[in-house]
């Protein structure tokens, strides 16, 4: 099988895997999937940046921005209070930094956003298993309003 066909097959497999996982995931898992997706896209964009593959770099940075915007839109600002407001501001900052990283071809900015997302993901994963249901997400003021399939692209 040619390299292009292999890549295409892997991409299709990834789509099915994500869609299947999203169909049965808890709201907690959906947010985890979005965080992982954004981190993966930024990592790929960094590789494209290093190889001077400008179009791919731009596409993957745009994809990461879209995922972060999905995270941002999933915040419940009415219930979330200060936590939701702080996350909203942080997601906005990350989106602006990714635009800057794209324009300047700056790997350090990609690393900065990766560090921020990794910190958020680490804190998110610390939520005890028995508190990861929909009621807990309301209590954490971070409910997902949109389906993950609308927010994740593979």
* pTM of the full structure: 0.73
Q: Please check whether residue 28 is in contact with residue 137, taking contact to mean a CB–CB distance below 8 angstroms.
A: yes
For residue 144, count CB atoms less than 10 angstroms from its CB and return exposed for 0-12, middle for 13-18, buried for 19 or more: buried
Structure confidence by residue, pLDDT tens digits, 76-134: 889 889 999 999 999 999 999 999 999 999 999 999 999 999 999 999 999 878 777 65
- 130 or 37, which is more confident: 37
How confident is the model at residue 132, as a pLDDT? 73
Query: Rounded to whole angstroms, how far apart are CA atoms 114 and 108?
Result: 10
pLDDT band at 19 (very low <50, low <70, confident <90, very high): low
Query: Rounded to whole angstroms, how far apart are CA atoms 31 and 37?
Result: 10
Query: Rounded to whole angstroms, how far apart are CA atoms 67 and 136?
Result: 22
Domains of the chain are: 3-151 (1.20.120.340)
Structure confidence by residue, pLDDT tens digits, 38-89: 999 999 999 999 999 999 999 999 999 999 999 999 998 898 899 999 999 9
How confident is the model at residue 1, as a pLDDT? 47
């Amino acid at each position: 099988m040619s390299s292009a066909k292999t890549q295409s097959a892997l991409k299709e497999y990834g789509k099915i895997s994500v869609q299947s996982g999203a169909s049965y995931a808890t709201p907690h898992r959906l947010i985890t999937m979005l965080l992982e997706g954004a981190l993966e896209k930024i990592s790929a964009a960094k590789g494209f940046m290093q190889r001077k593959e400008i179009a791919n770099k731009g596409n993957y940075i745009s994809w990461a921005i879209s995922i972060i915007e999905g995270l941002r839109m999933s915040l419940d600002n009415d219930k979330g209070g200060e936590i939701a407001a702080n996350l909203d501001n942080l997601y906005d900052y990350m989106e602006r930094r990714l635009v800057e990283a794209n324009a300047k071809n700056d790997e350090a900015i990609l690393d900065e956003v990766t560090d921020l997302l990794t910190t958020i993901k680490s804190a998110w994963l610390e939520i005890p298993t028995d508190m990861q249901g929909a009621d807990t997400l309301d209590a954490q003021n971070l409910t997902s309003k949109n389906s993950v399939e609308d927010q994740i692209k593979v």
